[in-house]
Chains A and B, each alone.
Chain A
Amino acid sequence: MIKDTLLVLFALAGAPLLGGFMAGIDRRITARLQARFGPPIMQPFYDVAKLFGKQMIVPNSWQVFCAYVYLVGAVLSVVLFFLQSDLLLIFFVQAVGAVFLVLGGMAVPSPYAQVGAQRELIQVLTYEPLLILVFVTIYSVTGSFKISAIYAHEAPLLKELPLIFIVLTYALTIKLRKSPFDFSTSHHGHQEIVKGVLTEHSGPILGLIEVGHWYETVLILGLCALFWATSPVGMIILITATYFAELIVDNAMARMTWRWMLGYVWSVGLAMSVINIIWLYAK
């Protein structure tokens, strides 16, 4: 019970710190990769603090509702993750957040927000089946959908499910909206400041979404870490390596179209899942 309470507290307080910190490192490394100096590591926290200090301006009050529910969905999914509950349950709870992010974007008739929201739907459409397949294959190894069963498993999942791990990183890239899959947060004829589904969000509302995104980052990196759940050091190595690879890909790739994304990710993702499962049975 005490352990659970501590875990919940860590999820609530530690996750955004970790997520914000990751965002800071992300910006720093990205800057270096682009031969810039980059902001301080703490910059995301300064940004969010500043956003919360702003006056709330919205074109539609429904957006406020959506932003809060997005945050609740993201936080609850991280809490459930730390409580080692059912992977599918965690997934469905984060889907609450995902759908309300889209609804918040669609709440304003502005063309930028609308297009962004439609594209975000396609992003979700692309990663959702992959994540479900990842969880199903984890089940076929550990015999349970619960995260606790992964910790009880003797060997790291990575050993048995290497291709599934790659499938998961595809989902990670889409979920973090990084290139080549970042098309839901960028669309403008002249500049990149307009951020697709987030176009109409500003001030504290944008701050909420930013914090929610930190939680989501932690969730998805946590899922990656599960693939080396036998050793804490392994978990850290895996997360660091994955995130660094993520940044390289982000900087090396151009944005693609949704048609390409859907076709490519579904076919590659499905093929890799099937091959990995055949391996599993062949052993």
Chain B
Amino acid sequence: MPSLLLFMCILVPIIAGVLCYLVRIGFARTLTVLVTGAVLTAGSLMLLGHGTFTYVPPSPWAGLVNTAITLADFALLAIMFGIARKHRSKLIMTLVVLQAVPLLFFELFMVDHGAPAPGFYGDNLSLIITLLVSIVGSLICVFALPYMQKHEAHLHLKRSRQPQFFFLLLIFLGAMNGLALSNNIAWLYFFFEVTTFCSFMLIGHDGTPIAVKNALRALWMNSLGGVAFVFGMIGAHHIAGTTDIQQIIASGPMGGALLVPLALLCLAGFTKSAQVPFQSWLLGAMVAPTPVSALLHSSTMVKAGVYVIFRFAPTFAGTFFSQGLAIVGSFTFLVTIALALGQRNGKKILAYSTISNLGLIIACAGINTPTALAAGILLIIFHAISKALLFLCVGTIEQEIGSRDIEDMRGLFAVKPRIAVITVIGIMTMLLPPFGVLISKWMAIEAASNNLPAVGMIAMGSALGFVVWGRWAGILMSASYKKGLKPEPMSAFVNGPLSVLAGGAVLFSLVLPWIYSLLVKPMLAFAPYQVHFGSLDSSIGGFTVIPIFLILAAGFVYALKQAQKTRARHVAPMYMSGVHSGGPDDETFRGPMNKIVQIETGNYYLTRLFGEERLTFWVNNVAVALLVLMMGGAL
């Protein structure tokens, strides 16, 4: 059974990707993507139903798969070297060589190819990642179908580049599932590299000079992570004597020497999750078409980094390194949301907020108590859903109004009510109770409360987040009353993914107590919270999830009913010191010399405090210092 499901989750998207590349017909591509999405969804759900498993392919296959992956590994490195040479990037060439040579040594002289190779392993952590990749990822791919058509119409391309685009997108889904389900650290490395490669190709997809530049930056930073991974892998193998990840973890707590390779693996996770000081590649990645940002850079690929850290977290529990991780993570959480505050580019705000939330997830891994780990895993789930939704919203808005500046979204509700409301829902699910992201954050604060520096930074970061999200939601609704406003039409492939994600973000929050007890609790050493009557409860604190959800939902519905009673006769023009010049929805006043002046308002961006130019330098320096301290703690 697992063999079929693994085939569905890993190989089907790869085959479908190749199909998209070869068959250059729009209809066939649409069909392929839809079918792949269905297969992935079914496969990942059945895999979850199947539960924890270990699977090693039967005897001739195991060796073949291993050889194929090893060869593909070197082929991929060769391609990357070629790319680096084409772009004359000595840095990337060096980083690729630094991966290839040790890897060759590792494969030739260290790994015992006679011993049975470890295969696949799925526990709740990897199954959750697989679910997110398969379902959220598929929704994003579906969304990409109409999006890329419009995108290319806008660019006036002679020859469509969509085959290549969907090829990479689908391969990426397969690689992510492979990454989550591999129990062989060498395979994990391979899939890690595939995601780096896909990310590079997709960021540079539009081929503009800025896209190429940013793609190369993503490549070198992630290759640095690749180098750290190779050395971490070799070190782990040297000490534990196996490439089996479960055995490495099992041998962990005994040998403090394992800490150095683990720290290197975590460093690789840091680059992939774009933690400070590696955040710039993710921000640069925002030049890519929005589905790329949604898929790779918010909901799934950056989760590969935190996945690796969570995978090895039990091994370094209680060490100085773990404490360092908590500090570095909460530092990232604070400073990147502060950077988001200084931004008015919607995609950049989302990018910074993503890095920030990943920082919080990593801080949870560093605190490393069952409560913290539960908070981190819940945050992985809920952040993926809400952030994918928000990226798709920004993409939709950008195609509608031609801008991703949030100031240009002022009063969007009066023009495009449907997408405005969906975006506000997305923002609420990031910010407020009773939604999953907030509940995870609550859990994270309670878990961090014995660590004063961490909890202080998390407290400040969460307050900054309040401003970032609050003003954005406010801007979307900032409009005068319009009579008879109707939702704008939307293509099914846009509306479908948006509605499913928005509904998912809301409804999954309602069933959070069960997600916790069925998926998260079995992973933990002991259960930090008891679930009864839909509430999470412990001696330290409690969150009455269901009652609060229901009361707030009732309040929302009642408030909505009251708001809908508003009629045109209730509407007055806004207050403008008595110099208002027109009708109710007219935003002008009589200025000096009786001239009609259009009012202009803007948000606070506090760029003198939180501007990128001002903060980034210091942030990067402090982050490097903290990283050195953390890695030093491992030595």
Contact = CB atoms under 8 A, between A and B. Distances in A.
Contact of A136 (B445, B470, B473, B564): B445
B4 interface: no
A62 interface: yes
Interface stretch (A95-103, A223-231, A232-240): A95-103
Interface stretch (A21-29, A38-46, A141-149): A141-149
B514 interface: no
Contacts of B601: 109, 111, 114-115
Nearest to A134: B459
Interface residues of A, number: 71
Contacts, number: 215
Contacts of A139: 446, 449, 540
A88 B446 contact: yes
A56 B470 contact: no
A189 B576 CA distance: 11
Contact of A103 (B477, B584, B603): B477
Given A68-B558, A68-B559, A129 B456 contact: yes
A99 B603 contact: no
B466 A124 contact: yes
A57 interface: yes
B485 to A, nearest CB: 10
Q: Is the interface of A mostly helix, strand, loop or mixed?
A: helix
B576 A93 contact: no
Contacts of A110: 574-576, 599
B59 interface: no
B566 interface: yes
A65 B562 CA distance: 7
B470 A121 contact: yes
A197 to B, nearest CB: 10
Contact of B559 (A65, A111, A194): A65
B462 A128 contact: yes
B540 A72 contact: no
B540 A106 contact: no
Interface in A153-178: none
A142 to B, nearest CB: 10
Contact of A95 (B432, B540, B564): B432
A112 B473 CA distance: 18
Contacts of B410: 109
Nearest to B560: A65
B481 A76 contact: no
B146 interface: no
B563 A64 contact: yes
Nearest to A146: B541
Contacts of A58: 481, 566, 570-572
- Identify which of B450, B470, B555, B556 gathers the most chain A CB atoms within 10 Å of its CB: B470
Contacts of A93: 433, 548
A266 B544 CA distance: 31
A106 B446 contact: no
B542 A102 contact: no
B573 interface: yes
Contacts of B539: 143-144
Contact of A277 (B433, B452, B541, B604): B452
B478 to A, nearest CB: 5
Interface string B446-479: 1001101001101110111011011101110111
B63 interface: no
Contacts of A145: 446, 449, 540-541
A60 B585 CA distance: 9
A146 B542 contact: yes
A129 B460 contact: yes
A118 interface: yes
A145 B575 CA distance: 44
B34 to A, nearest CB: 37
A143 B432 contact: no
A59 B584 contact: yes
Interface string A246-275: 000000000000000000001000100110
B352 interface: no
A58 B481 CA distance: 8
A132 B432 contact: no
A276 to B, nearest CB: 11
A121 B442 contact: no
A49 interface: no
Nearest to B449: A136
Contact of B574 (A86, A109, A129): A109
A124 B464 CA distance: 9
A86 B543 contact: yes
A61 B563 contact: yes
Nearest to B448: A136
Contacts of A274: 452
A109 B563 contact: no
A200 to B, nearest CB: 6
Question: 6 tightest CB-CB pairs across the interface, nearest first?
Answer: A106-B474, A72-B555, A68-B559, A128-B463, A61-B566, A132-B459
Given A76-B552, A102-B470, A111-B601, 16 more contacts: A61-B564, A73-B552, A85-B542, A86-B542, A89-B543, A92-B432, A92-B433, A99-B473, A102-B474, A103-B473, A118-B471, A122-B604, A124-B463, A124-B470, A132-B445, A136-B449
12 contacts: A60-B480, A61-B563, A72-B558, A73-B552, A89-B541, A98-B466, A109-B478, A129-B460, A132-B459, A146-B540, A146-B541, A277-B452
